[in-house]
Each structure stands twice: as C-alpha cells, then as structure tokens.
Structure 1
Amino acid sequence: MIVTTFQTSLRTANLDDLDEITDLHTQARTAYYQAGGHSETELTSPEGRSSRREMWMRAVQDDTKTVLCAVREGEMVGILAMGPPLDPDMDAASAAQLYQIHVRAGRWGQGIGSQLHAAFVRFLRDASLTAGVLEAWERNSRAQAFYARHGWMPDGHHRPGPCDANYVRLRLDVGPSA
C-alpha cells in the first residue's frame, strides 16, 4: 500500500525499517509515558528497546497484521500497526484493532496522525468491517483527545497499565463504504 498526500507517503513497513520504527516508537512513547509519571530510565533502557524491536519484527512478519510507515522528505515521521482484535470478546468478522499510531515528536500537529488514522478507517471499510477498537493509556491525554476528535468512544473495557493507570479500550463504529 502506498498513499501520498501533502508530502507524506504511507508505505508498508519491511524488515529494513525495524531500527527506525523502534527509535520512533521509543521517542513517542517516552514523551507520553514520561508526561504520565513513568521514569525515563525505564522507557529508554537497552532491554526495553530490544523488546520493542522484537515486537515490531513480529508485527512486520505477521501476515495478519499491517504496519505502515509515514515518510516525509525522506524521514520516517509516523507508524501505524493494525490487524485482528486482540480481545476474545471482539469478533474479527466485524472489527479490527488499531494497535498503535505514533508520530515523531516535533511533527505533531502536521496531520500525520490523521493521515495514519484515515488509513486505518480505509482498512476497515476495504475489509467490510463495521468497527475498530484500540487501547489508550488513560494518562495519555494527547492520544485521548486525538481519538475523541476522530469519533472514538470508550466502550467500558479496561486493563491495568503502568503507574497504576489503566489502558482504556475505545471503539469506532464505521458505516459501510459509499
């Protein structure tokens, strides 16, 4: 999949992207977890980075998942991971999960996250799915506001997260494509 708008191209990730994806993910998650009270040391440790790189490698290689990279002026500025729902109470015949959207700090507010989000909505419609689900850390107010602007609503499910704060599951209902 390749989509280009406003100087930003979306393309399917490959194994050559792993280090750059891992670095972008580490930078983005450090920004929101640190703002929520997590220590930077825990977030940027070599062990944590290695674990994130392994997770991204599995996602890129998994035929049931899609990982997209947003590239602007030769720089990876965002990533999106999506696929079947992880929770057993969600029906994969009607819903998919947005696992992660991350935009490089310094590129926030430039429409990159919205472009990645639009790719997820296209994914839902192309697969004739009627809903998307995701989890957002309850202390990540930036993500909460972003998803609310795009029509996501809490569905009442949550699970424990770091720093005694939950991950909250959000749902987006989409109609059939026109």
Structure 2
Amino acid sequence: MANLSIRPAELSDLGTIVDVHTQARTAYYRAGGLPEAGIDTADGAAHRQRGWARSIESGDKRVLYVLHAGEVAGVVAMGPPLSSNTEADTATVGELYQIHVLPTHWGQGIGSRLHATLIQYLDEAALLIGQVEAWDRNHRAQAFYLRHGWRPTGHRRQGPDHSSYIRMHLNAVTA
C-alpha cells in the first residue's frame, strides 16, 4: 500500500493513539455482540491513555504507529511477556500486546504492515516465539492471526460478557 509510513510513538501522539484504539475496540466489541454498556466505562479513555503512556515511556516495550496519507491509521505495541503470563520464557517469547487499525482502514494491508514490525522485533531480539491474545468473539482478529501463521495454544483467560481471550503463538523462526 502506497503512502504508508511507520514511526515510533511519542507521548505527543497519545491522544491520536487512544482514539485509534478506542475506535477499533468499539468496532470489534460491537461486532462480537458485547452489549453497549459493556464496551466502555466512564474512565475507559483515561485508562487507555495511562496504559499507552506507560508503554511509550517503557524502555523494554516498542510502540509504533502507521501513517496513511499523513493520518494515523493504526498502532501496535510489543515487548516482553506481560507479568501476568508467568509461564512465558522471557528469553524466547515476545508478546504482541495490541494491534489496532481504524475500522475505516480495515482490509487495506495496514494491519499486515504493523504485524511485520512484530516479526522484525522478534528477529532483532532473537526471540523464537510470538505471543498474543485475541478475544474469542473477535473472529476478524483471529482470522488475521491465523493467516499470519499464529496458532491457538489452548490457554484462555476470562473476558467480558462470559467470553474468553484466546492465547495464540507464532513460531518466529518460520514467520
């Protein structure tokens, strides 16, 4: 796709990144049938802003965004396995924390370009496995990951509205 560039995120990008995240999550939660009241909370945007700020300021996480024709169209965050995942070996596993593309840009290859930055990260860090969690009702995300070589591990954790998040792995050596 022409007119795409990927850049490291800075704190000055925070508002735009939170907006992309909010629009994407709203779309996939709606598509998954989550009741409107369960999609966000009064402090949801502030919570996302704090989380993205911590990731951007972190020395061990990488946050990038993609510009399409000069406008932010997607964002990705990656790094070592989250502390809640105690079984992951930090010497071999890198985690894709989040990847979000504006719904108006879905299906245009932007997610694949952001995914390629994860592959580059895993390669540069000499990590053998990529890890991600996808909401079990987000069939679009699961299909995206499967197309890119990810496979479910069988591990699930509690999600909203009696749902789960499905953990998936990617063999980075063959990706």
TM-score category of the 2 structures, normalised to the smaller one: over 0.9
> Corresponding residue for 1:133?
131
Equivalent of 2:64, from 57, 61, 68? 68
> Corresponding residue for 2:46?
50
1:72 Cα deviation from its structure 2 partner: 1.1
Q: Does 1:115 align with 2:113?
A: yes
Query: Which 5+ residue runs of structure 1 have no aligned equivalent?
Result: none
In 2, Cα distance between equivalents of 1:42 and 1:26: 13
In 2, Cα distance between equivalents of 1:151 and 1:113: 14
What secondary structure does 1:163 align onto?
coil
> Corresponding residue for 2:147?
149
Question: Contact conserved, 1:26 with 1:43, CA < 8 A, in 2?
Answer: no
1:31 Cα deviation from its structure 2 partner: 0.4
- Give the residue type in structure 2 aligned to 1:32: Y
Superposition TM-score, scaled by structure 2 size: 0.94
Superposition TM-score, scaled by structure 1 size: 0.93
> Corresponding residue for 1:40?
36
- 1:22-45 deviation line (CA, Å, top 9, x unaligned): 011000000011111223344344
Runs of 4+ residues over 4 Å off in structure 1: none
Cα distance change of structure 1 residues 126 and 47 upon mapping to structure 2, 3 Å threshold: same
Number of positions where the alignment pairs a residue of Structure 1 with one of Structure 2: 173
% of aligned pairs identical?
A: 48
Q: Does 1:27 align with 2:44?
A: no
Q: RMSD value over aligned CA atoms?
A: 1.4
In 2, Cα distance between equivalents of 1:84 and 1:61: 15
> Corresponding residue for 1:79?
75
